[in-house]
């Protein structure tokens, strides 16, 4: 039987941190850059409840009615995330005469990369942490507007692989506490490369299931 782990269990919850201007950004030749305001994520079992850290459930029991009886069906969900970003200019002008962004400053992101790390330095993919992966997306930053990018932070396939699969039923280490590093890659309208990176805490376990 699948064990339940209460949300109050003693566990190190890694706080989300956000990167506004990274070395990669300042090295870019683009006249504009991306500012990552916030990263948030949600469990696939409750995909509308976004927060600044993620309790990722490796296996969720979903109640279904079969032949008139209610049964618990073991289910794996992908975990979604979203990033809130806006555009910045390298030459903002002065307080009296601020520089206004033009359509030429637009940045479009087309892919992202997710890597998991642990504070204890045990970072071997497939042994200590899930494998890194790349995903596609299309999000544009235009002028002073705020854009929200939707993405996957934990793939369903990762929950079928080591080391997450061993956590089912409270097995393995019981908990794996990680930081997910997410880097977004894109370009401006002149084709010059732009990237931005942010971090968010992701804690894996066989968490208690929503009722």
| pLDDT tens readout for residues 71-109 | 989 999 999 999 999 999 988 777 777 777 778 899 999
Q: Which long-range contacts (CB under 8 A, 24 or more apart) does 15-19 make?
A: 15/52, 15/53, 15/201, 16/40, 16/52, 16/53, 16/199, 16/200, 16/201, 17/198, 17/199, 17/200, 18/198, 18/199, 19/196, 19/197, 19/198, 19/199
Domain segments of the chain as ranges:
23-205
pLDDT digits (tens, 9 = 90+) for 117-139: 999 999 999 999 999 999 999 99
The structure's pTM equals 0.82
Domain covering 23-205, topology: Immunoglobulin-like (2.60.40)
| Average pLDDT rounded to a whole number, residues 148-171 | 97
Nearest partner of 184 among 173, 171, 175, 193, judged by Cα: 193
Q: Say how far apart CA 15 and CA 20 lie, in whole Å.
A: 16
Q: Reply yes or no on whether the pLDDT at 182 is more than 60.
A: yes
The answer to which of 21-25, 59-63, 67-71, 85-89 has the lowest mean pLDDT is: 21-25
The answer to whether the CB of 89 falls within 8 A of the CB of 105 is: yes
């Amino acid at each position: 039987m699948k064990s339940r782990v209460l949300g109050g269990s003693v566990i190190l919850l890694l706080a989300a941190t956000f990167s506004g201007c990274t070395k990669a950004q300042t090295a870019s030749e683009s006249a504009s850059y991306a500012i990552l305001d916030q990263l948030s994520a949600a469990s696939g079992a409750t995909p509308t409840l976004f927060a600044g850290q993620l309790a990722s459930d490796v296996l969720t029991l979903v109640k279904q009615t079969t032949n008139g009886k209610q049964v618990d069906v073991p289910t794996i969900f992908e975990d979604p995330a979203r990033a809130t970003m806006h555009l910045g200019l390298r030459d903002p002008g002065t307080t009296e005469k601020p520089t206004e962004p033009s359509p030429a400053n637009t940045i479009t992101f087309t892919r992202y990369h997710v890597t998991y790390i642990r504070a204890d330095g045990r970072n071997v993919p497939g042994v200590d942490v899930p494998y890194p992966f790349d995903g596609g997306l299309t999000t544009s930053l235009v002028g002073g507007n705020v854009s929200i990018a939707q993405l996957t932070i934990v793939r369903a396939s990762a929950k079928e692989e080591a080391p997450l699969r061993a956590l089912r039923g409270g097995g393995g280490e019981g908990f794996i506490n990680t930081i997910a590093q997410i880097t977004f890659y894109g370009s401006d309208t002149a084709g010059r490369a732009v990237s931005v990176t942010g971090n968010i805490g992701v804690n894996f376990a066989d968490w208690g299931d929503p009722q």
